[in-house]
Amino acid sequence: MMGGFLFGVTGGIQFIIYKSLADEVGVLYIQGDGAMTPIMGDGCIEYKENKLGVVYTDKDIVHKKTKKGKDRVEIKNKRFVSSIGEGVEKFKRMLHARAKESGLYKAKVVVLLGDGAVWLSKMKDEYFQNAIQILDWYHAVDHLWATAHALFGEENIEKCKNWVEPLKELLWHGQIDEVITWVAKTAMSAKKNQTPLYQLHGYLVSNKNHMKYDEYRNAGYYIGSGAIESANKYIVANRLKLAGMRWDVRNANSMIWLRSKYFEDDWDKFWEEMNISEYLTKHANLWGSDLAA
């Protein structure tokens, strides 16, 4: 196993990454998501999106049981990158570089897990052409519930459940075409409130190639993007979005980077082995020429 560190500076300290290439990677998972962060503007608070990415492997996914016997998944050895106020293109390059350091080109399978955002699909085409793109299972189900709530009202719990569960069952077993056909027929025959159905239909059609959940499960792939969803909470929201807070972009970047390193669980080892000067000399052009010294 090789070891080393990657350090990037752009608009302040952004990220430092521990380089650890396993001899062989089975499945490499890549996730990205955004979260709005309060930034100081001219006499007001502006909200800028922080892009957060995480990379891990199938060996890092640990299945456990709670005291009550329920299944719980824990992901170890997560590696993060983040970028705020610099646009998605810079972030894509950062996440690609992080994936390479985690064994992108040694992995037997690469899985890009996300919420269906257009920029994620574009990133796949640009940087991860051979990856299997999966629409997060929970986002797919959330869209079913959102449609049911729009049709019947959130207070009508039983009716919403009876509408969602059969469609959810079909999706779970990979029958996306059947769901699309049913939603389309229901929308065309509805005498009112057609808009939520057509919106759901469009969402399903746009993501149908990423919703083969039976195939993914049979192959043993993880189909939930909870790792990045929760990371947005414990890395960003729990520190940067407390009551009354607002941040300079440089300081926000620095704080997100520090919290990312802390939650990578190798804080002490990282600082013991880091040589910032050596890294900057060696990797100044990794993310582009604007990596300042």
Q: What is the DSSP letter of 37?
A: E
Place of tokens 């390479």: 100
pLDDT of 104-113, one tens digit each? 999 999 999 9
What average pLDDT is seen over the chain? 86
Mean pLDDT of the 266-281 span:
72
**Sequence letter at residue 276:** I
**Sequence letter at residue 130:** N
Does residue 8 have a pLDDT over 80? no
Calpha distance 150→168 (Å, rounded): 17
Calpha distance 106→276 (Å, rounded): 27
Mean pLDDT of the 104-131 span:
95
Which of 292, 287, 251 has its CA nearest to residue 92? 287
